[in-house]
Structures are given as C-alpha cells and as structure tokens.
Amino acid sequence: MGIKGLKQVIADRAPAALRTVEMAQLVGRKVAIDASTSLYQFLVAVRSEGQSLATSEGHTTSHLIGLLYRTVNMVENGLKPVYVFDGKPPVMKGGELEKRREKREKAEASLKAAEEEGNDDEILKQTKRLAKVTPEINEQAKRLLRLMGIPIVTAPCEAEAQCAALARAGRVWAAASQDMDTLLFGAPVLLRNLTAPAARKLPIEEIRLEEVLGGLEYTQDQLIDLGIVLGCDYCESIRGVGPKSGYEHIRACKTIEEAVKLEKVAKGVPDDWPYASARELFQRPEVDECADEFVWAKPDVEGLVQFLVHEMEFSEQRVRSAAAKLEKAVGKGQQVRIDSFFKISSTKRSQPGDNTNGGSPSAQGSVLPALDTIALELHAPGVLVMAFNRPRHMNSLTYETYAEWLDVMEYVHTDRSVRVLVITGRGRAFTVGHDLSSTGMALTDAVKRQYFERCNVVRDLTQLLITSPVPIIAAVNGPAIGYGCTTLALCDLVLASETAVFRTPFMELGFCAEGCSSLTFPRILGPAVANDMLLFGKAMGAAEMHSRGFVVRVTKLDELLPLALSLAKRLAGQSRGALEATRGLIKERGVIEQLLRANEVEMEGLYLRMISKDTQQAVVRALAGLQARQSGGAKPRL
C-alpha cells in the first residue's frame, strides 16, 4: 500500500530530494527491485482489449511479457537489476491483507454487475482491480529471470525492506519500488516507476533519503512516525490527520507519543492502535544479509525458447532477439561506478592514523582507490583530498573524469566520516576544462547519445556540488578554465596560487554557460564582469578574482596546499552540527533551489548547443588554431 500523502509532503517540504531521471543516467547502477510491485504493474498494464494476455489454455503471460522487455531495456541501458521477491508477510500485515480481500470481493461483485449491464468501461476498471500476483506468477517470474541471467533474492519477509537493506549495506545503489514506505525502511535512494511499462510514459523518479530528512528537518525515526500517522500496511491512520497536519504535528512534538497528547489528534486515534509495533517493524525489519556476490550472467537462450516459446506461446523471433540484446549488453564493458570501488564494511573500521594514499580505508571502512583520472587521499581525520590527475594533459576533463568526479561526490554524500573535501590539481593546472578531443565529431545518433549522457553526468555532478553535505575548499594551483572555473563558485572557500588564471571560453566554442555560472557569476562578480567573462571569455588573474570576492586568499604555489589542508583540518575539528547549521543559513533553501533550477536550464541549453552544427564548426576551428600553435605532444584543449 505504501504511505498515503508522503510523496506530497516531500514535494512540498523537501523538493530538492525529488527529481526525474532518464534511464541512460543510471548506467552502471546496481538496483534492487521490488518484484511484487513490478509484476502487479505488468499485470494491470499489459493487456489486449482490457484482458490480460494469456496462452491458448488460459495461462496469463502479461507479467512475463512486461518483465522480459522492461528488464532487457534496463540491461541495455547499463543497469544491473536485482529482483527481490516477498517472503512471508508480517503478522501485523494481517489487517491490511484482510482489507485487500474485502476489496477483491467488492470488485468481483462489481465486475459481475458490469458484465450483466454490458458496461465495458466498468468491466475494464474492475478487472484491473482484481489483478493479483499469485505464487504461480512469482515462480514463473523467478524462472524467467534465472534464464535471463538476472540475480534474484527471496526476502524472509517484506521485499521493500530487503531492497532497502541491500542499498544501506552498499550491495546496490538504490531500491526500486512504488511503495514510499521503502524510505521508512532506510533506503538511501528510492527509484519509482523504474519498471513501469513504457507505454505509460511515466518518468523515473529519484528520491534521496538524506535530502528528504534535511528538507523536512526530521530524523529517520520521525519520518517513520510520520508514515505511521498517515497510515501504513501495519496500522490505520489517525482520523482527521492529513499529510500537512501530520507533518506539522511530528515536527513540533518530535514523536507519536507526544503528538497524541494533543486533543485534536487524540480524538482520532484508533482503538488498540499498534503504532509502537509498527515502528519496530520499520526500525528492525526481518531481512537477510545476502552475503553472496550478485552475478549478471549471459542468458540461457535455449532455456528461454523452451519456456517462453514452447510453453508460453511467445514469438520465437522476438524471444531470440531479446536474448541477443541481453548477450550483447552483458558481454560489453559497463561504465564503472563508485559502488565497484568503495566496498562498505560493517565490521572492520580503520584507525585514525590510517591516512595513507589511495587504497586505504576511511574511518567508515570505505576503500579509497587510486582512480584513473582522479587521485584521492586522506590527510587529517575527516579531510578528503581530491586531485585532478591528468597532469600531462593539463587535467582536462574527459567523460571518465566527469564520471569519477561524480562518484567522488556521491561518496562524500554517503560517507559520514568525510567532514571536509579539498579539490586541487596535480601538475601545472587546476583543470583546463572540457577535453575537446571527443567534440567536433560527425553528429551521428551515437554521438548525440554520447553528448546526452555526458550532459546528464555533468548535471548530476553539479547538483551534488550544490547540495554537498560538507564544506568544499578549492586549492586552485594553476589555470582553471571552463567547468573547472564555473564550479568554483559552488565551493565554500576558493584559494588560489599567484599564477592561477580563471577563464570561461564558452562563446568561442559555441557552448553556453554551465556550472550555474549564469546565476553565480553576476551575483559574486557583478553583472559587468560576469558578462566580460561569460560572453567575451576574458581571462582573470588570481589577484583580480580576489578583489572581486571570488577568491578568498592568494598565496605562493608551494604554500597553497598546506594552507588548504590547515583550513580543512580546522573545519573538520568543528562541531558537525554547527557547521551544518551555519552552511544551511548561508546556502538557504531558496538559493539552493535557484541553483538547482539554473543547473537544469543550463544543461538543457548545453546539450542543444553541443549537437548544433555551428558549435561543431566552432570546436573544429578552435582545435585547428590550437594545433597550429602547438608543436605536438599533448592533445590540444582549452
């Protein structure tokens, strides 16, 4: 059933926690999917003339059709799904199951009446209400997924609780379910509509728990209490208390126990209301550790043909085509995400002195590897240093660099041991911005898709910079150009060496403003200077940017990183609560929402510019000019 009204509360009070994403943005992601809600969606949506699809002998196939093609679509887009099936229902869910049984009986009666009247619309409506995921349907789905090479898990109890547990443990990145109570079970990221049939054209919704709690100003226990007040599978709601008043009551009173002391709340409390037991189920659900590694194997093609074609009467051509797509997707390399690198351990924790280079565990037990284009190091406890690590190429930003930077920011958002992030560059440059070697190609569909995916990664990265839970200190050791320049305005402190240069050559490349610079530059530098930089690409020195309030301190190059580490260590030693409160006041909610909106608008504009002919021509001219001025060696870039 989920939690009635919870999504609206989040949309009203924590809008930054809610966003829509494209399937392509989830490349490389491991996702635990609530199988029951997915199968129900397919049973309801995959129909012909109002009836579920079935074999000549009457065996339903709607769920298999939906599961096959939606899963193939996910795998083709680079997702790594793990389907989680319900186990036995909790004893407390008996009341909800009884209500569902009563609703089915009413639907059956209504369907019979509609058939007698010949009311086709009512027949369709009641038929959908009677859709049910039976044990037979579950077993057929499991058989299909095994043949497809997709991992499955059978939960000891509730599937959404198991999905949330896998996400909390770092085994998967997100839980996918239609039920909002997945957040109450502690899923750090919830995806809704991931398995919705394509014909419904529902956007995939991403909801981040940390941002939900921050926006609501709730603890996890208070979110659980709100869900119970609004009504969940385990107990009734409080009569007369809706989403808005329920949110206010829990925010003011902190707990259900205190809220029910209010007269206007107490009169609506059901008799023998088991809220404490319901809370216990959300706080300590029955779940498995699932210690075995998940494996995405190649499909058993002949097994699929036997099951779907010979037993379920599918088209052999379509089944073999789907199997071929699976084989191709599983066989090709996927983009590596941070969940491939950072292994979360619930038992082993590093000691405060374990501050060595890449490969060492942080205080929370996460491995800090040496990434390909970014170097990560732990210095003082709680201080993570990220350095662009392509010194031979002036630290230009390739697609891989953007993706790894995004991974680092996701890690910062999830690992509470990180208190301060320092960003710098190795070699002579901070970063000279976007690597142009992959731009200016013929605009084929494949190239357009590549640009689209890159813009999505950059959009997500910018969003995480905007909403960073920890202070970010930038130590600009050399040229900071393009995206490397604009995103400095999203940092808490910008330090610069005396030789640092800041430039945004967007116009000469046919690009447009990004990194929220259309909003931040006029506010920090003033409209005139912002126009000079964004429209004319004027280069600014460290001293001038300091005088404009963009750079906090200017120092000698050899003193830059020690200064950044000294300031970071001081911040890391401060009260976490005080830091969060002060940063929250500086970056008040309205400002964050404006930045998030600017990011969305800019990235939409940038994608349109990147696929335009005049931008392609501008990039080719820029590359030719740079090559003419260079004597070989490193690839030309701005």
How many Cα neighbours within 13 Å face the side chain of 154? 11
| 144 compared with 620, residue with greater pLDDT | 144
Q: With bands split at pLDDT 50, 70 and 90, how would you rate the model's confidence at 302? A: very high
| 564 compared with 21, residue with greater pLDDT | 564
In this structure, which amino acid lies at residue 414? T
What would the pLDDT profile of 151-181 be if each residue is shown by its tens digit? Answer: 999 999 999 999 999 999 889 999 999 889 9
Q: With bands split at pLDDT 50, 70 and 90, how would you rate the model's confidence at 2? A: low
The token duo for 500 is 């640092």
Q: With bands split at pLDDT 50, 70 and 90, how would you rate the model's confidence at 274? A: confident
Cα-flanking dihedrals φ and ψ of residue 482, to 5°? 65, -130
What would the pLDDT profile of 195-234 be if each residue is shown by its tens digit? Answer: 876 656 778 999 999 999 999 999 999 999 999 988 888 8
What would the pLDDT profile of 331-370 be if each residue is shown by its tens digit? Answer: 654 444 433 333 333 322 233 233 333 444 444 445 565 5
Please tell me the predicted confidence (pLDDT) of residue 108.
55
Averaged pLDDT score across all residues of the chain: 82
**What integer is the mean pLDDT of 77-93?**
82
Residue 49 has pLDDT above 50, yes or no: no
In this structure, which amino acid lies at residue 370? A
**What integer is the mean pLDDT of 372-378?**
90
Query: What b/e readout covers 395-423, taking b as 16+ CB neighbours within 10 angstroms?
Result: bbbbbbbbbbbbbbbbbbbbbebbbbbbb
Residue 3 has pLDDT above 60, yes or no: yes
Q: With bands split at pLDDT 50, 70 and 90, how would you rate the model's confidence at 482? A: very high
| 52 compared with 515, residue with greater pLDDT | 515
What would the pLDDT profile of 539-581 be if each residue is shown by its tens digit? Answer: 999 999 999 999 999 999 999 999 999 999 999 998 888 888 8
pTM of the model: 0.52
Q: With bands split at pLDDT 50, 70 and 90, how would you rate the model's confidence at 413? A: confident
In this structure, which amino acid lies at residue 592? I
Please tell me the predicted confidence (pLDDT) of residue 504.
95
Q: With bands split at pLDDT 50, 70 and 90, how would you rate the model's confidence at 117? A: low
**What integer is the mean pLDDT of 602-615?**
84
Residue 493 has pLDDT above 50, yes or no: yes
**If 0-12 CB within 10 Å is exposed, 13-18 middle and 19+ buried, where does residue 346 land?**
exposed
14, 214 Cβ separation under 8 angstroms: yes
Residue 113 has pLDDT above 90, yes or no: no
**Three-state DSSP class for residue 194:** coil
In this structure, which amino acid lies at residue 55? T
User: Under 8 Å CB-to-CB from 554, ≥6 apart: which residues?
Assistant: 495, 496, 497, 498, 500, 542, 543, 546
Please tell me the predicted confidence (pLDDT) of residue 336.
43
**What integer is the mean pLDDT of 522-530?**
95
Q: With bands split at pLDDT 50, 70 and 90, how would you rate the model's confidence at 109? A: low
The token duo for 48 is 């012909």
Which region among 115-129, 382-396, 438-452, 513-527 has the lowest average model confidence (pLDDT)? Answer: 115-129
| Rounded alpha-carbon distances, angstroms, from residue 243 to 3, 246, 287 | 10, 5, 29
Q: With bands split at pLDDT 50, 70 and 90, how would you rate the model's confidence at 589? A: low
Please tell me the predicted confidence (pLDDT) of residue 593.
82
Among 31, 142, 146, 46, smallest CA distance to 87 is for 142
- Alpha-carbon gap, residue 535 to 313, rounded angstroms: 62
Please tell me the predicted confidence (pLDDT) of residue 583.
86
